[in-house]
Amino acid sequence: MVVIEGGEARGGKWEVGSLFVYPSFSIVPGLQRGRPQSTKAAMNTRHVFLALCALPCLAQAANTGSPFYGDPPDAHHPWAVHDQNRPQPVRVEPGTFSTQEQPGKPPSDAIVLFGGQASDLDKWQADKKPAEPTKWEVKDGILQCVPKSGYIRTKEEFADCQLHVEWSEPADISGESQGRGNSGVFLMGHLEVQVLDNYNNPTYADGFAASLYGVNPPMANPLRKPGEWQVYDIVFRKPVYKDGKELDAGYMTVFSNGVLVQDHTPLEGPGGHHNRSKTGPFPEKGPLKLQDHGNPVRFRNIWYRPLPKRTIEGATEGALSEEATNAKRAEIAETVRADAAKLEGNAKTLRQLESLVYATDAATLKEATGSVEAFVAAVKALPADKLGSKKSDIMTFHNALQYLTKAKDLPADFGATNELADIVKTQGWDKKK
């Protein structure tokens, strides 16, 4: 049996050595193991029968979509393009949008911090040490700041999140600039997204409603009239530091009444009044705070969704370092091999070949290439008038071998690849219609 000898794994790829007659492995597991022989001699009647019996399995594999289709993994992308192995997105039941008359429903995975119940106040406390119950009030499903009672903070602490907050200014206009309907949403207890009645009320731009207070003004003013409900949707990522070095400044994206007003704005530390904020690490988690600035601002429908880690924190989506990519590719290959072990016949072989897309493995390569040779031999043993009935299966293997060869996951001179290509060409199946 002709296989490749002298190859070795380098950087997750198989590099070809030279051709040898492989001493011992069976084209059908369990058969003739340990007996060196030519491919032709090995293809006894039983082999042909078993290899062809496995052909129907290909139809099932094809139903899941071809794994040998999009560009293969590379040094910074562990997943092939359109990879069927990539986990499906987690199902989330969407919520509903709010109206002025009533708040919408949060998505199914949201953690509700205030949903209109008086008991929701138990999730909050006065922002004091030691903590004590807040004097803010819940009336008619609305949380209202009681001026001079102090900030409130959630008992729960969290960091990176999608945050939804609705707020409403007093309809009876009072004060000006920073004195008109001032409150604030403080991510992790530090960074304020300003709440202010700026419907018709100029103030300094970096203190405007939806500003990152003291850091960055909003890009627009889409506020509604005081008395109406305003909606903030915020995406918050905290700074990431390692060994004192900043890996990611952190950032904030804010939609105000559905209008983008902060576009991935880099953080500059915790923000603040009067003094320029300085970059630096944040704690792991912190509470959400709402500000008492002396105005009876109202809130409703407050919820958040925790966000997954970024790649810089170890997540494996997106472009990765070579080290992280190789680790993930090895993990994917192992998962695919484990799945292959549950299959039989050609479906197993195809899955084994698929694992080689991610990382080479000598035992898998040996078994899969042996099985491929058995398949090709079985096909070649068919009467000419039966070949057409196996076209789909032949093309599946042909495409797989072409893909793997192009990606250098199989040796360029693997004989079965060329033998199948010859069959495809002779039959005219390589011609595009």
Q: Which residues bind Mg ion (CB under 5 A)?
A: 182, 184, 291
Q: Residue 204 CB, nearest distance to Mg ion (Å)?
A: 12
CB nearer to Mg ion: pick between 182 and 201: 182
CB nearer to Mg ion: pick between 14 and 151: 151
CB nearer to Mg ion: pick between 262 and 355: 262
DSSP 140: T
CB nearer to Mg ion: pick between 291 and 369: 291
Q: Looking at 121-161, list the stretches that DSSP marks H as alpha helix, in order from N- to C-terminal side.
A: none
For residues 209 and 205, what is the distance between their CA atoms, to the nearest angstrom? 9
Estimate the crossing angle of helix 391-406 against helix 362-380, to 10 degrees. 140
Alpha-carbon separation of residue 52 from 353, 371, 379 (angstroms): 18, 12, 8
For residues 197 and 297, what is the distance between their CA atoms, to the nearest angstrom? 10
Q: What is the dihedral of CA 64, 66, 69, 75, to 10 degrees?
A: 70
Q: Residue 132 CB, nearest distance to Mg ion (Å)?
A: 22
Q: Residue 291 CB, nearest distance to Mg ion (Å)?
A: 5
For residues 265 and 277, what is the distance between their CA atoms, to the nearest angstrom? 14
Q: For residue 432, how many other CB atoms are within 10 A of its CB?
A: 3
Looking up tokens 């032709």 gives 40
Q: Residue 196 CB, nearest distance to Mg ion (Å)?
A: 6
Q: Looking at 111-156, list the stretches that DSSP marks H as alpha helix, in order from N- to C-terminal side.
A: none
CB nearer to Mg ion: pick between 134 and 183: 183
DSSP 132: B
CB nearer to Mg ion: pick between 182 and 265: 182
Q: Residue 227 CB, nearest distance to Mg ion (Å)?
A: 19
Q: Residue 194 CB, nearest distance to Mg ion (Å)?
A: 5
Residue nearest to Mg ion (CB): 184
Q: Residue 273 CB, nearest distance to Mg ion (Å)?
A: 9
Contact indicator for 28, 374 with CB cutoff of 8 Å: yes
Handedness of CA 151, 157, 159, 161 (dihedral sign): negative
CB nearer to Mg ion: pick between 184 and 269: 184
